[in-house]
Chain A
Amino acid sequence: MRPIHALTHALAPLALALAAAGCSTIGDDSSSSAPDDATKPTRVVLVTHESFSLPKPLIKQFEQASGLDLVVRATGDAGILTNKLVLTKDDPLGDVAFGVDNTFASRALDAGVFAPYDAALPDGAEEYRLPGDDEHGLTPVDDASVCVNVDDTWFADHDLAPPRTLDDLADPAYRDLFVTPGAATSSPGMAFLLTTIAAYGEDGWQDYWTKLMDNGVKLTAGWSDAYEVDFTQGGGHGDRPIVLSYDSSPAFTVSGGTSSTSALLDTCFRQVEYAGVLDGAANPDGAEQLVDFLLSPEVQAALPESMYVFPVDSSVKLPAEWARFAEQPSDPYEVDPGAIGEHRDEWLREWSDVTSR
């Protein structure tokens, strides 16, 4: 017994201190305990990306109405989420997935990740349906357009008219002024690549990008590198007044009743985020309730401030600053989701070649 005694001497105070301070995750109530009665599920699991966020009262409201605990598993971005769903499709991570967008949707649909569910869509949501998803595997929940943003203050100070079109960005007048996240490492960056593909065609976009590169476009790894470091209106007060961001971004640069930035609505690509019931869900019934919940007026109204996106429900009233400064493009560029799925690899490779030349 003695040797053990010696070690307990050493470890006991430590263990005691840890336990007393509660500085350990052990003993935490784990919400992961499986439902004890398979016939009557007590929870519904939402698999989503890390940007997912909803006000707590709303979630409480759902749990009370449905009698289910809502468990949220939020990790990674839309790409990681999609790939997780594809890799675990035989043993799904939850009941509902939210956050697969139109650039990744075809991959998930092709893999048969989702079970059909024809939810009743709110007003105006029909136009966001995924082209080609005839079995209603995916339900549109929100959208946000990726657009080129400009710093109007900077252009006013420099007596220069801000650019308006994609062509303008390649104009020597705007040399060394544009910064964008790269397509390979950033989801808005990918959206911008798709914009140019839609605008210049599958054989023309390479030339456009060559011109962009010649005109001194700066590429960064992620959105925050471009916006917060290099953009003149970002947190780091950079020196480039043109940046790739979202149509909603001008609502975040408001001071004194005006926004210092604006989105160029002729340079936009629309990203729609979908929810879907996972094939093989443990609680398909609860899953459908959850999808309906995401389409409810309360959630739709909370989307702008919770997740920085526009609701698909056109009847929802937007927050004041959004209504004033966040203008949505009327006719954004589009690329067929199936084509994206098919050519993503090839396009990215070509893009890497052009931009690293």
Chain B
Amino acid sequence: MRRAFELAGLSALPLAVLGVFFVLPVSGMVSEGFVADGRFDPGGVLEVLGRPRVHRVVWFTVWSSTVATLVAVLLGLPVAHLLHRRRFPGRGVLRSLLLVPFVLPTVVVGVAFRELIGESGPLGFLGLDGSAVAIVAGLVFFNVAVVIRAVGAAWESLDPRPAEAAAALGASPAQVLLTVTLPALRPAIVSAASVVFLFCATAFGVVLTLGGLRYSSVETEIYLLTTNLLDLQAAAALSILQLLAITGLLVVTGRLRAVPDPALARSVRRAPRPSRGDWPGVVATGLVLLLVGAPLAALALGSLRVGDAWSLGNYRALTGAGSQHALLVSVTDALVTSLRTAVDATWMSLSLGLLVTVVVTRRSRSRTERRVRGLLDGLFMLPLGVSAVTLGFGFLITLDRPPVDLRDSPLLVPIAQALVALPLVVRTLVPVLGGVDDRQRQAAASLGAGPLRTFATVELPLVWRPLTAAAGFAFAVSLGEFGATSFLAREDHPTLPIVIFHLIGHPGAMNYGMSLAASVVLAATTALVMLAVDRLRVSSVGAF
């Protein structure tokens, strides 16, 4: 009984948050689709699923996301190894730099990407503009950081000795990787891949901008149906399809993730410098840097052009609000709003994420208990797979009366962002916390430590590194979040991506230049924050 109470107690808060801010709005929006002319009509929704266009859209979503996920994992793994198991000058800078794409607004990156691959761009001869290849490249650009960071964090805390034992038994580095390291990393890889897949499957701007309208994904289709046609029936049908697909994905990945006892290092040896054997990592890092760096460089160069001359004019213009440009707030003010919102979103998603992780990773005593914990694990992944439009509209129609009259609350934006970041936080923490030997907890408890103290002294020091990785993710997600935020941001306090979107959506060379400059500021801020987060070390927390 006590365990049941503990389980219920720990999961109460996350469940309540998820219930109010996800289940309620989404079900509210979906149920709109089931009501036609004032009465319940599920037939219409089913009819939508039979349309050939829907089949095409679903097929495209599935294959493009799968390919993008595979590429992101294949590219990300060697980079994760180089950046988390090797030591070299500039490693920290590189790590934070690779996270930058994650936060950039797709509108701007889309423009930067297309300036490279467009008909008149330096890579125009490849004919990629508007092709599926461009979409996949864009998806990888935005998501490879997830693999690098999530798998890297796990790799960093992986006990190196089984690999050494295998090497001593005659396994070549490749064989060690395949037979020892990858199996041990499987939970982390599967976690990261499932998150990346969900991000890809719900990508919106990339598909539209880079696909040049030739391709539609489930997400763009829902957007079109909801915002343009107000065809809520069809939107509901697709939303349900999304939810079902995600549930399926979660079941599969849950199975794949389960491995006996991933080994966790008690003490992590200092990483060696790269050697000749690290060439795959170096090559992959080079490729990723090229993929990530080229559009960023295009962005940075563009931000320095005013007319036909080099100038810092675009940056100087960022601090001014009024003058001839019709921004209500200056870009610097928007940056402050963005940062403050991100701080809130980060602590919200971290505290919720930690609770969820603790609940999910506690060793179960019975089959039912294990089922319940597994179910909870999957439940918190759902927000990733549902369209921001559905959620945004759902907020408006369901959170409008007491006790949850929150439509106008300034906290709605960070809460929405925290929900988006939550699965990332959970997926980063679960593999590591799941690897903590139960006996350590028992030892601490036997020495008189209560559950909280046990957590603070046994688990917290071990999860500190992944925790900083998760915090970085949450912060970055919040800084770059556009979909839900654009629905909820109040005009007197818009975040930076909203302002950038505003700037690039209006004619005038100055607006264009400023939007690029603002994006560079956003990118640089992100990189700096990531660098700072990475520098935080366990000493301050693990000491007591």
> In the bound complex, what is the Cα–Cα distance between A106 and B338 (angstroms)?
37
Q: Which residues of B contact A64 (CB under 8 A)?
A: none
Q: Do residues B410 and A32 form an inter-chain contact, with CB atoms below 8 A?
A: yes
The CB with the most chain B CB atoms within 10 A, among A30, A228, A237, A238, is that of A228
Q: Which of these, A77, A221, A229, A249, contacts B115 with CB under 8 Å?
A: A229
Q: Chain B, 218-243, contact with A by CB distance < 8 Å: what is the 0/1 string?
A: 00100010111111000000000000
Give chain A interface residues in 52-70, CB to chain B under 8 Å: 52-53, 55-56
State whether A221 touches B212 (Cβ < 8 A): yes
Stretch at the interface among B39-47, B154-162, B508-516, B519-527: B508-516
Q: Is B506 part of the contact surface with A, judged by Cβ < 8 Å?
A: yes
B344 contacts A24, CB within 8 Å?
A: yes
CB of B396 closer than 8 Å to a CB of A: yes
Q: Which residues of B contact A22 (CB under 8 A)?
A: 340
The yes or no answer to A314 lying at the interface (CB within 8 A) is: no
Of B208, B230, B541, the residue contacting A221 (CB under 8 A) is: B208
Flag B480-501 by CB within 8 Å of A: 1 or 0 each. 0000001111111100001001
Give every chain A residue within 8 A of B411 (Cβ-Cβ). 25-26
Find out whether the CB atom of B509 lies under 8 angstroms from the CB atom of A229: no
Q: A171-215: which have CB < 8 Å to B?
A: 182, 184-185, 190
- The answer to whether B340 and A75 touch across the interface, beta carbons within 8 angstroms, is no
With the chains together, A88 CA to B455 CA distance in Å? 45
Our pick among B401, B504, B544 for the contact of A224 (Cβ within 8 Å) is B504
Cβ-defined partner of B393 (8 Å) among A84, A246, A255: A84
- In the assembled complex, the Cα of A240 lies from the Cα of B119 at a distance in Å of 9
Interface SS of chain A: helix, strand, loop or mixed? mixed
Partner of B341, one of A10, A25, A72, A308: A25
Asked if residues A3 and B32 are in contact (CB atoms below 8 Å), the reply is: no
Mark B residues whose CB is within 8 Å of A: 32, 107, 110-111, 114-115, 118-120, 130, 205, 208-209, 211-214, 220, 224, 226-231, 302, 307, 322, 324, 326-328, 337, 339-341, 343-344, 347, 393, 396-397, 400-401, 407-411, 413-414, 449-453, 455-457, 460, 486-493, 498, 501-502, 504-509, 512-513, 516, 540-541, 544
Contacts of A88 in B (CB 8 A): 396-397, 400
Cβ contact of B507, chosen from A9, A84, A246, cutoff 8 A: A246
* Cβ–Cβ < 8 Å partners of A28 in chain B: 410
Residues of B within 8 A of A51 (CB): 502, 505-506
Instruction: Report which of A6, A52, A91, A223 forms a contact with B544, defined as CB distance below 8 A.
Output: A6
**Interface CB pairs A-B, < 8 A, 25:** A3-B449, A6-B544, A25-B414, A26-B344, A30-B408, A30-B409, A30-B410, A50-B491, A53-B328, A73-B408, A77-B227, A83-B393, A220-B209, A221-B208, A222-B505, A225-B111, A228-B504, A229-B114, A239-B118, A239-B119, A246-B507, A252-B507, A305-B326, A306-B326, A344-B228
Please indicate the chain B residues that have their CB under 8 angstroms from the CB of A239 in the complex.
118-120
A107 close to chain B: CB less than 8 A: yes
| Known pairs A76-B486, A84-B396; A223 contacts B505 (CB<8 A) | yes
| B414 and chain A: residue at smallest CB distance | A25
Q: Tell me which residues from 332 to 346 in chain A have a Cβ below 8 Å from any Cβ of chain B.
A: 344-345
Give chain B nearest CB distance to A32 CB in angstroms.
4
| Complex interface: chain B residues within 8 A of A307 (CB) | 326
| Residue of B with least CB distance to A22 | B340
Docked pose: A88 CA to B408 CA in angstroms: 14
The residue of chain B having its C-beta at the shortest distance from the C-beta of A353 within the complex is B53
Q: Which residue of the partner chain, among A32, A184, A252, contacts B408 with CB atoms under 8 Å?
A: A32
Is there a chain B Cβ closer than 8 Å to A156's Cβ?
Answer: no
- Distance, CA A248 to CA B492, complexed state (A): 27
| CB-based nearest B residue for A5 | B453
Assess whether B505 is in contact with A224, with CB atoms less than 8 Å apart: yes
Give Cα distance in the complex from A245 to B506, angstroms.
10
Inter-subunit contact A7/B107 (CB<8 Å): no
* Besides the known contacts A73-B408, A225-B110, 19 further A-B residue pairs in the complex with CB atoms under 8 A apart: A6-B452, A6-B456, A28-B410, A50-B486, A75-B489, A79-B228, A83-B227, A93-B407, A184-B213, A218-B212, A221-B208, A222-B505, A225-B111, A230-B120, A235-B509, A246-B507, A252-B508, A252-B509, A355-B213
- Cross-chain contact A18 with B302 (CB below 8 angstroms): no
Partner pick for A228 among B111, B208, B322, CB 8 A cutoff: B111
Looking at the complex, which one of B230, B344, B450 makes contact with A3 (CB distance below 8 Å)?
B450
Is B452 a contact of A238 with CB atoms below 8 Å?
no
A160 at the A/B interface (Cβ < 8 Å)? no
**Which of B110, B118, B340, B491 makes the CB contact (< 8 A) with A74?**
B491
CA gap between A56 and B327 in the complex, in Å: 10
What are the 6 closest A-B residue pairs judged by CB atoms, nearest first?
Answer: A235-B512, A3-B452, A32-B408, A221-B208, A74-B491, A3-B450
Bound Cα distance from A139 to B498, whole angstroms: 28
CB-nearest residue of chain B relative to A21? B343
Instruction: Collect the chain B residues with CB atoms within 8 Å of residue A13's CB.
Output: 540
Contact between chains at B492 and A235 (CB < 8 Å)? no
| Contact residues, A221-278 vs B (CB, 8 A) | 221-225, 227-230, 234-240, 245-246, 248-249, 252-253, 255
- How far apart are A268's CB and chain B's nearest CB, in angstroms? 16
Query: Contacts of A74 on B, CB cut-off 8 Å?
Result: 490-491
Contact between chains at A91 and B401 (CB < 8 Å): yes
A10 contact from B212, B344, B541, Cβ within 8 A: B541
Smallest CB separation, B469 vs chain A (Å): 17
Contact A75 B487 (CB under 8 A): yes
